[in-house]
């Protein structure tokens, strides 16, 4: 595959960007039309997807162009409303690519469902009875969803745990390319009556768990510190401060929440673009961040002074899908999968975790050097002007004035706009 030079992509006009993508065969003529004509989700399709539809809702669809994961380069689609998120991911991915890119690993890819039983007279006898009939229960689960078994997936294992007054059965299922919520819930409801019989107790509920600890993915990268600053002393200090920032997120939940919010700036943007359930990914990851009893920062960084490398690591539950749900219904989601090269669910999960680590790198670098406001607010300035009522055509004249003011806020934007209109 020929190398694409993305330098200056962000400075191109919208039309030039689309032209660039199609010139490099990254966008089919159909997809180019879809984007240019803004052919979004139709009301008819939206009406089939959810209830009480009164319209559709748009967000910017963008691209982070040059993300290297396991030696393969991806064009990563982002859907986000927040200025500077795409710039930060682009900036970080570029530096990380120059340092060898991300290395990732899928630990496993199984979904977990649970059936909770209560009012159990003798939990030990009930547990033994269930475990004694393990093969039969797995067969029952698979019989409830034969199509996934045909595709090579299906129920894999079951375990039982006693937690307070509950006897909980956990079922692990290989859902192949799907996220599998419906599949797992169907299986759980199919085995529920037999479990009640074996435990001689009622069940409270049967449902998939979003705490997907059997779908963990790790991303790592090691950045050459010369990319932090041309001045080696400055680069050294910055690496040390970024490690301290990573430590702070381990010891202080107030900082950990913001540290993780930054990671999800990128993860949510990609999960949303690919038509996946971002609430499920968020819930699972925040539960994972609390697995030791206190909420922690999810990404960590270490500095090897001799090798002059700053190394980051992020592990997350990533039960992502490439089939099922609303994927395939939304035309922009299809473009997102095409831009990524139509990866498998395993491959997509690895790109998503890598993006989270890139986003964290950019945020920590900004926070421990210039501060967040300079880069973020530079890109926020345009939004402030638009919010103040500026027209698109007035932005080119107003933006340079805005960027030289001391106070980048809505009042300044309003004052500048009023003065500009008075003078012209």
Catalytic positions are 82, 261, 277, 376
Length of the chain: 424
CB 273 within 8 A of CB 80: no
Q: Pattern of binders to ligand HMG over 346-365, x per CB under 6 A?
A: ----------------xx--
Which residues have a Cβ under 8 Å from the Cβ of 176 and sit 6 or more positions away? Answer: 148, 151, 152, 153, 323, 345
Which residue, 253, 421, 270, is CA-closest to 356?
270
Smallest gap from Cβ 229 to ligand HMG, in A, equals 11
Cα–Cα distance for residue pair 291/285, rounded to 1 Å: 10
Which residue, 364, 365, 264, is CA-closest to 318?
264
Which helix (H) or strand (E) segment holds residue 207: the answer is strand 203-209
**Contact range with ligand HMG by CB under 6 A, out of 86-94, 217-225, 287-295, 397-405:** 86-94
Smallest gap from Cβ 84 to ligand HMG, in A, equals 4
**Interacting residue with ligand HMG among 31, 79, 90, 256 (CB under 6 A):** 90
Q: Pattern of binders to ligand HMG over 112-151, x per CB under 6 A?
A: ----------------------------------------
Choice between 362 and 417, CB closer to ligand HMG: 362
**Interacting residue with ligand HMG among 265, 276, 334, 412 (CB under 6 A):** 265
**Interacting residue with ligand HMG among 372, 387, 403, 418 (CB under 6 A):** 372
Smallest gap from Cβ 326 to ligand HMG, in A, equals 26
Q: List helix spans (H) across 274-323.
A: 278-289
Choice between 74 and 91, CB closer to ligand HMG: 91
Q: Token digits for 414?
A: 């309003």
Cα–Cα distance for residue pair 259/262, rounded to 1 Å: 5
Cα–Cα distance for residue pair 121/12, rounded to 1 Å: 70
Residue 82 binds to ligand HMG (criterion: CB under 6 A): yes
Smallest gap from Cβ 265 to ligand HMG, in A, equals 5
Residue 94 binds to ligand HMG (criterion: CB under 6 A): yes
Q: Pattern of binders to ligand HMG over 23-62, x per CB under 6 A?
A: ----------------------------------------
DSSP states of 333-382: HHHHHHHTT---HHHHHHHHHHHHHHHHHHHHHHHHTT-HHHHHHHHHHH
Residue 88 binds to ligand HMG (criterion: CB under 6 A): yes
Residue 86 binds to ligand HMG (criterion: CB under 6 A): yes
Residue 310 binds to ligand HMG (criterion: CB under 6 A): no
3-state SS class at 402: helix
CB 74 within 8 A of CB 26: no
Enumerate binding residues for ligand HMG (CB under 6 A).
Answer: 7, 10, 82, 84-88, 90-91, 94, 258-259, 261-262, 265, 362-363, 366-367, 372, 375-376, 379
């Amino acid at each position: 595959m020929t190398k694409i030079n993305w330098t200056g992509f962000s400075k191109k006009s919208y039309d030039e960007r689309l032209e660039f993508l199609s010139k490099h065969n990254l966008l089919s003529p159909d997809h180019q039309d879809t984007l240019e004509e803004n052919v979004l989700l139709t009301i008819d399709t939206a009406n089939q997807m959810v209830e009480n539809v009164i319209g559709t809702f748009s967000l910017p669809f963008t691209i982070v162009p040059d993300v290297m994961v396991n030696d393969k380069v991806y064009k990563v689609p982002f859907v986000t409303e927040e200025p500077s998120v795409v710039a930060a991911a682009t900036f970080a991915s570029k530096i990380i690519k120059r340092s060898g890119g991300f290395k990732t690993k899928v630990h496993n890819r199984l979904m977990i469902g649970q059936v909770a039983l209560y009012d159990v007279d003798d939990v030990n006898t009930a547990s033994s009875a269930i475990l004694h009939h393990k093969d039969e229960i797995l067969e029952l689960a698979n019989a409830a969803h034969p199509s996934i078994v045909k595709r090579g997936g299906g129920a894999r294992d079951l375990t039982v745990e006693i937690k307070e007054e509950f006897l909980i059965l956990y079922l692990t299922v290989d859902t192949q390319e799907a996220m599998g919520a419906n599949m797992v819930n169907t299986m759980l409801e199919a085995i529920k009556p037999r479990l009640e019989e074996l435990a001689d107790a009622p069940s409270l509920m049967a449902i998939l768990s979003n705490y997907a600890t059997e779908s963990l993915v790790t991303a790592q990268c090691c950045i050459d510190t010369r990319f932090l600053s041309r001045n080696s002393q400055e680069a050294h200090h910055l690496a040390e401060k970024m490690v301290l920032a990573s430590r702070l997120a381990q010891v202080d939940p107030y900082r950990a929440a913001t540290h993780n919010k930054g990671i999800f700036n990128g993860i949510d943007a990609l999960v949303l673009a690919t038509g996946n359930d971002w609430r499920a990914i968020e819930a699972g990851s925040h539960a994972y961040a609390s697995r030791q009893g206190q909420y922690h920062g999810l990404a960590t960084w270490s500095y090897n002074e001799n090798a002059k490398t700053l190394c980051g690591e992020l592990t997350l539950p990533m039960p992502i899908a490439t089939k099922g749900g609303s994927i395939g219904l939304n035309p922009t989601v299809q473009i997102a999968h095409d831009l990524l090269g139509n990866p498998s669910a395993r491959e997509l999960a690895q790109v998503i975790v890598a993006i989270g680590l890139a986003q964290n790198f950019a945020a920590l670098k900004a926070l421990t050097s210039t501060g967040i406001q300079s880069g973020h607010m530079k890109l926020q300035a345009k939004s402030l002007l638009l919010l103040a009522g500026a027209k698109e055509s007035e932005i080119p004249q107003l933006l340079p004035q805005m960027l030289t003011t001391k106070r980048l806020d809505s009042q300044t934007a309003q004052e500048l706009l009023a003065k500009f209109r008075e003078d012209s």
